Amino acid sequence: MINSLGGSGGAEHGLVREISRFAPDVENTVVRLFEKDQIGHQLEAVGIPVIPLGLDASSAGRNWPVGARRLRSIIGDLKPDVLQTSLFAANLVGQLSTRDTPILSTFTLSGESHLLQRYQPGAASLRASMLRKVAGYAAKRENVSFRALTDDAAETNIGLLGVDPSRVTTIPRGVPEFEAERSRAELELPEEVPLLLNVARQAAQKGQTDLIEAFAAIRRSVPAHLVIVGRRGDASAALEGSIASHGLGAHVSLVGYTDDVGSYLHEADLFVFTSFMEGLGTAVVEALSVGLGVVAYDIPPVREATHDGEFAALVEAGNQAAFAETVLAELSSAERRHPERAKAILESHGIEAISRRVEILLRELAA
């Protein structure tokens, strides 16, 4: 089996976890669209060979014919039983590289059209429209099946690409059991104040400037500290500017990327999530998996991930005042941890169970 991956972020880290837990008789080779990077080194560390296609990340939308041609050559050499692809560019490259090998492509994109146009650069352009037409053509090939991370992602992509719903299976991304490796003192975080945690890359769709506005209001009532874990992105300058304008520099920690998310999850008092658009909202599921309380914007993937909102306090997206009020209400509650939610999430989203479901689907396609 070849796993053809594109982009970088939570979706890929989840896939690394999954394929590293497949049965020993499943041989994996991962083909990277771009040059070998942190994800590639993580894969090699667990014994999975990595082949970079060498595309330019900034022009992947234009270079898919080159990628498809190079992947076709690799498939000819390796003769895999099944090809698994993840994220839009890799799905397109994979689907156009072969008509013979069974393909399982993963749907992560989720959201209404106005959100896609707002948060996906160039989504409303003529080039993007033509690319979706090519993607729709490729997705209808008989050897292509799909995995959606949520029912909302399935619905979104079925509508965009016009594929047969019977060829789509919803299987969420799995989460591991996170261990705490460091204390607040070791993480250089204050000990005696409520700790709010947000895990998301610094991108406009993650709504972190909304979070800062809400946090400024929260600070007027409670001496809380906010930690934002996630790599820099298109909203980093705006995020830093908002923190500075509210004079919150001493009360907000921008951690950047870290392998030790578990320590932050275990040390936090509440998880806060202001994303306007998600594929799954894996960070929310991870927070729930350690029993952490969650306040989040009410968007379809997050509602789905939180058992129809039962496991989280959901707030109308964009309502910063209501978000701040809800956070304060949650902080005033005596119940800061929810072990029964953690147990339910690990039963439905645990990495071992999810890996088995994905492996069974791949074996069915290969057969």
Task: Determine, yes or no, domain membership for 103.
Answer: yes
Cα 110 off chain centre by: 11
Same domain for 250 and 338, yes or no, is yes
Task: Determine, yes or no, domain membership for 76.
Answer: yes
Same domain for 207 and 128, yes or no, is no
Bridge-partner residues for 197, per DSSP?
Answer: 227, 271
Q: pLDDT by residue (tens digit) across 349-358? A: 999 999 999 9
Same domain for 251 and 273, yes or no, is yes
Same domain for 211 and 222, yes or no, is yes
Neighbours of 3 (CB within 10 A): 28
Burial class (CB in 10 A: 0-12, 13-18, 19+), 344: middle
Same domain for 296 and 335, yes or no, is yes
DSSP state of 179: P
Whether the per-residue pLDDT at 211 is higher than 70: the answer is: yes
Same domain for 81 and 94, yes or no, is yes
Cα 114 off chain centre by: 20
* Token output for 126: 């003529």
Same domain for 280 and 154, yes or no, is no
Task: Determine, yes or no, domain membership for 276.
Answer: yes
- Distance (Å, whole) CA 206 – CA 119: 9
Residue 35 has φ and ψ, to the nearest 5°, of: -70, 160
Distances (CA, A) of 2 to 83, 106, 299: 5, 14, 33
pLDDT confidence of 243, banded at 50, 70, 90?
very high
Same domain for 320 and 359, yes or no, is no
Same domain for 330 and 358, yes or no, is no
| Range 122-140 average pLDDT | 76
Same domain for 135 and 208, yes or no, is no
Whether the per-residue pLDDT at 195 is higher than 90: the answer is: yes
Coil, helix or strand at residue 329: helix
Average pLDDT across the chain, whole number:
89
Whether the per-residue pLDDT at 166 is higher than 60: the answer is: yes
Specify the CATH number for the domain of residue 255: 3.40.50.2000
Task: Determine, yes or no, domain membership for 356.
Answer: yes
Whether the per-residue pLDDT at 124 is higher than 70: the answer is: no
Task: Determine, yes or no, domain membership for 186.
Answer: no
For the chain, what is the domain count? Answer: 2
Distances (CA, A) of 239 to 25, 189, 215, 256: 46, 20, 12, 13
Q: Give one DSSP letter per residue of 59-125, joined into a string.
A: GTTT-HHHHHHHHHHHHHHH--S-EEEESHHHHHHHHHH-SSS-EEEEE---S-HHHHHHHSTTTTS
| Range 119-134 average pLDDT | 69
Domain that holds residue 45: 2-174+351-366
| Range 112-117 average pLDDT | 63
- Stretch (H or E) spanning 212: helix 208-219
Same domain for 232 and 310, yes or no, is yes
Task: Determine, yes or no, domain membership for 190.
Answer: no
- Distance (Å, whole) CA 56 – CA 186: 38
Whether the per-residue pLDDT at 237 is higher than 70: the answer is: yes
pLDDT at 274: 98
The label of the residue with tokens 């014919």 reads: 65
Residue 222 has φ and ψ, to the nearest 5°, of: -135, 135
Residues in the chain, overall count: 367
Same domain for 27 and 170, yes or no, is yes
